[in-house]
Amino acid sequence: METPSELALAVLGSVAAGILTPVTIAIAARGFDMDTLTGTGHGVRQRISQAVGFGWYAVFATRLLRMTAVAPTPVPPASPTGR
């Protein structure tokens, strides 16, 4: 079970990624002028927007996997008779 602070952090991370991803995509698109020799750095901005978006997906997926992980089944002890 998640504590309220963990839940608040997850919500805050989701909101931040939800805002930052389209903003960085818009910044990257604004700088993209089909002239790759200008050195404007639009490729860097595109990679930053992808890292923000996919980074959050990875964090969120890892959290979901940890929340749904199944505990290993304990092995029953051997009977005293050996059967």
Over residues 33-82, the pLDDT tens digits come to 666 555 566 677 778 878 888 888 888 788 777 777 666 777 777 777 75
Specify if 41 maps to a domain.
yes
Specify if 74 maps to a domain.
no
Specify if 80 maps to a domain.
no
Please check whether residue 56 is in contact with residue 17, taking contact to mean a CB–CB distance below 8 angstroms. Answer: yes
Please give the tally of structural domains in the chain.
Answer: 1
Specify if 78 maps to a domain.
no
Domain containing 46 equals: 4-67
Specify if 79 maps to a domain.
no
Specify if 17 maps to a domain.
yes
Lowest mean pLDDT among 1-5, 6-10, 55-59: 1-5
| Residue 4 backbone dihedrals phi, psi, to 5 degrees | -60, -35
